[in-house]
Amino acid sequence: TICCDCAHACSGRSASGRERLGLVVLMGMALFIVKVLHSPTGFTLYDELQHLRTFDDIVASGGLYARNPLLLVSPLYPGLEIVTSVLTGVTGSSPFEASVVILGAARLLLTIGLFLFLERATDNARIAGIGAFVYLANPNALFFDAQFGYQSLALGLAMVVLYLTAESNGRWREGAAGALLVAAASIVTHHATTSALVAFLLALTVARWLPPSSRSAAP
């Protein structure tokens, strides 16, 4: 009911841009809380246990890239596990407690970045709100992209890259430093998200190189 009310208010004509952003964030974080309530005390999903193995290997060995027979590709993209090991080492928290904080922050980055990117791309806060809610309605947003898995962190990072790129509006020097730094974090976190991000940025680059007449004639 809350999600439906948020979607209705966000798609209406009377809400301000900040109100729409707040509703999108509320929706995204509410879905994340549902996942936390599903498993409030520890990791239970299969993918989470695979990445927990990579985390344990990093902590036990003090190094990276130890073979993970449960998910061979996981040690090659250890961004999530590195951040988790740092947070557990600094705070003394358990891997699960650290993951809730990290993935909650990633979901926050995803929702804010998605709305701001769409608003910048369309110059319309209402369309941005509708687009963000459509994305959050996909089934993966509830559990798969909220679990202790590398895609959950990488999606938030990739969305920040897209927003910084759109915000630069062709002034690459202004947004390049921040975008490259966040993109590097995404690259070491998840291969599929990085591939999609690179493909999108290449398409954007090609589109910017097109003459204005070609862009206006494009469907």
Give the list of residues 6+ apart from residue 30 with CB closer than 8 angstroms, or none.
Answer: 2, 3, 6
pLDDT of residue 5: 67
Comparing C-alpha atoms, which of 76, 88, 87, 86 is closest to residue 51? Answer: 76
The encoded tokens of residue 136 equal 């959050």
pLDDT of residue 174: 59
pLDDT of residue 9: 77
pLDDT of residue 2: 62
pLDDT of residue 3: 65
pLDDT of residue 140: 93
Phi, psi of 100 (to 5 degrees): -60, -45
Give the list of residues 6+ apart from residue 167 with CB closer than 8 angstroms, or none.
Answer: 116, 120, 175
pLDDT of residue 169: 64
pLDDT of residue 201: 87
pLDDT of residue 214: 53
pLDDT of residue 142: 93
pLDDT of residue 219: 46
pLDDT of residue 1: 59
**Residues in the chain, pLDDT under 70:** 1-3, 5, 169-175, 212-219
The encoded tokens of residue 166 equal 């759109």
pLDDT of residue 16: 85
Straight-line distance from the first to the last Cα atom of the chain, in angstroms, rounded to the nearest whole number:
38
